[in-house]
Amino acid sequence: MKVLVIGSGGREHALVWKLRQSPRISKTYCAPGNGGISGDAECVPADLKSVESLVAIANQLKPDLTVVGPELPLQMGVVDEFSRRGWPVFGPTKSAAQLESSKAFAKQFLQRHRIPTAHYAICTSNSEVKHELSRFSAPVVVKADGLAAGKGVVICKTKDEAAIAAGEMLSGKMVGEAGARVVIEECLQGDELSFLVLSDGERVSPLVAAQDHKRVGDGDTGPNTGGMGAYSFPGLLDEQMTQWLLQHVARPTVEGMKAEGMEYKGILYCGLMMAARGPMVLEFNCRFGDPETQPILMRMESDLVEAMEASIEGRVSDGDFRWSQDAAVCVVMASGGYPGTIEVGKKIAGIENADALEGVKVFHAGTTARDNAYYSAGGRVLGVTARAADLKSAVDRAYEAVGKIQFDGAHYRKDVAARARKK
């Protein structure tokens, strides 16, 4: 069978890599892909901001399965258009994807269905922000309502900082139209956790949990990013907590969406804060996370194609996945200036040496390929991922691989998985 992956980042490279392992796959396409993905799939030019472009590509290639990687095509309704034509496609519809595309919708949904989340307020003007901030104590979190590529969240130490951040979002200066509404939220304390499940609209099956590193600097300092690293290992989440999260978060979400006429199929990513008063939902993503996908798929031993078909065809069960007991760690190598103004076009050396290490796979997030060489082409450039028998070994192997790669301006966090290793 032929499979088409939509997207161009590290998540999509990991999806292509894993899907190709299925004995059922004879041909893999990626639209538009990137330099590294071109070595694992046939890349096809595409405009991710145009549903018509993606429909035209699928009409030409006629894939037996299409997998939507990033959030924007989901928000625009690519799954609706493919489904209307009878084309098998993995991911939620436009209405279901509101859980990610609108933080205000998600917060109101969580409240309606009594799913634990932080206290919040929704504002559309500076006067509303000023009024609502009086009900919060600092620190406080300000979030853009719409999609902002992981950069629409600001943790503010004071209410004055929060008022400024909200004003910049509402004015369009910070994240454009995504900030036309803002969510003000209490700042929860604890460890963040990425809990993903596969849904067929009624049932859910959990994937292994992961933790990511959103801040750009070591020790969780600096601005938020799309993610600077992630890790997954068997001890991250025990069976009792897994069942609690299924009962109190994942299943109520899928059941609530169906009850409201928005059947949810695909991956549901529950971004959680493991707070003192219990797990709280910070956000939903309606697709695989990036970079969490990289270590999660490194640990997956079952056939991803069969799991995705089970989601599409309404036959998900708890037995859909098999997992390695190894640990996996992803370290993101970013361009100079990221997450601000970035430097691109830098020649990358050493990827082949890193890939040659046992248990290592270098996933390309923002690269181009020309003249038998790779060049940086985005903020997050590479996701250097390693799998090993335990967390320490996986961390050591990932950083050994990172040490073999060089490009001008490259930076990365030196403390990926450090908090887990201290416990």
Residues 195 and 304 in one domain: yes
Cα–Cα distance for residue pair 159/304, rounded to 1 Å: 46
Integer CA distances (angstroms), 193 to 4, 207, 409, in order: 30, 13, 30
Between vectors from CA 310 to CA 330 and to CA 23, what angle results, nearest 5°? 65
Write out pLDDT tens, residues 179-188: 899 999 999 9
Is 253 part of any domain?
yes
Q: Are residues 351 and 417 in the same domain?
A: yes
**Rounded-to-integer distance, Cα 416 and Cα 410, Å:** 16
Residue 266 confidence (pLDDT) above 80: yes
Select from 396, 236, 375, 422 the least CA-distant residue to 329.
Answer: 396
Output the pLDDT for position 423.
Answer: 60
* Structural domains counted in the chain: 4
Q: Where among 145, 160, 186 does a domain terminate?
A: 186
Verify that 11 and 52 share a domain, yes or no: yes
Look at residue 88 in the predicted model and tell me its pLDDT: 98
CATH number, domain of 246, equals 3.30.470.20
Beta bridge partners of 275: 278
Q: Where are the beta strands (DSSP E) in 110-252?
A: 120-123, 140-144, 153-156, 182-186, 191-200, 204-206, 211-212, 215-217, 221-224, 229-232
- Residue 99 maps to a domain: no
Average pLDDT of the chain is 95
Q: How confident is the model at residue 156 (pLDDT cuts 50, 70, 90)?
A: very high
Pair (210, 307) in one structural domain: yes
Do 373 and 333 form a contact (C-beta atoms < 8 A)?
no
Query: Residues 342, 390: one domain?
Result: yes
Q: Tens digits of per-residue pLDDT, 92-136?
A: 999 999 999 999 999 999 999 999 999 999 999 999 999 999 999
Instruction: Read off the tokens for 263.
Output: 């059947």
Do 80 and 155 lie in a common domain?
no
Q: What is the DSSP string of 340-391?
A: SS-----EEB-HHHHHTSTTEEEEESSEEEETTEEEE-SSEEEEEEEEESSH
Is 422's pLDDT higher than 70?
no
What per-residue confidence (pLDDT) applies to 148?
82
Mean pLDDT to the nearest integer, 199-227 = 94
Is there a contact between 385 and 330 (Cβ–Cβ < 8 Å)? Answer: yes
Indicate whether 196 and 301 sit together in one domain: yes
Residue 214, domain member (yes or no): yes
Strands (E), 75-228: 89-90, 120-123, 140-144, 153-156, 182-186, 191-200, 204-206, 211-212, 215-217, 221-224
In this prediction, what percent of the chain has a pLDDT beyond 70?
A: 99
| Residue 308: inside a domain | yes
Same domain, 139 and 216: no
Which residue in 413, 386, 241 sits closest to 327, CA to CA? Answer: 386
Q: Is residue 158 part of a domain?
A: yes
* Per-residue model confidence (pLDDT) at position 152: 86
* Chain position carrying tokens 């046992």: 358
Q: How confident is the model at residue 26 (pLDDT cuts 50, 70, 90)?
A: very high
CA distance 266 to 154: 29
Domain termination site, one of 151, 169, 186: 186
Task: Answer yes or no: is 105 within a domain.
Answer: no
Answer yes or no: is pLDDT of 150 > 80: no
In this structure, the answer to whether residues 73 and 154 fall within a common structural domain is: no
Give residues with Cβ within 8 angstroms of 183, minimum separation 6.
103, 104, 107, 120, 121, 122, 123, 142, 143, 144, 145
Domain stops at, among 141, 156, 186: 186
Span 371-397, average pLDDT = 97
Q: Per-residue confidence at 319, pLDDT binned at 50, 70, 90?
A: low
pLDDT band at 363 (very low <50, low <70, confident <90, very high): very high
Residue 362 resides in a domain: yes
C-alpha to C-alpha distance for 232 and 328, rounded to whole angstroms: 5
pLDDT attached to residue 65: 98
Same-domain pairing of 271 and 304: yes
Q: Is 384:360 a contact under the CB 8 Å cutoff?
A: yes
* Predicted local distance difference test score (pLDDT) of residue 163: 95
Q: Given pLDDT bands bounded at 50, 70 and 90, which one contains residue 232?
A: very high
- What percentage of the chain reaches a pLDDT higher than 90? 92
Greatest Cα-to-Cα distance within the chain, rounded to the nearest angstrom: 59
What is the spatial distance between Cα 332 and Cα 230, in angstroms, rounded to a whole number? Answer: 8
Report the distance separating Cα 35 and Cα 421, nearest Å. Answer: 34
Q: Do 406 and 350 share a structural domain?
A: yes
In a domain, 387, yes or no: yes
Range of the domain at 346: 327-422
Do residue 272 and residue 292 come from a single domain? yes
Global pTM reads 0.94
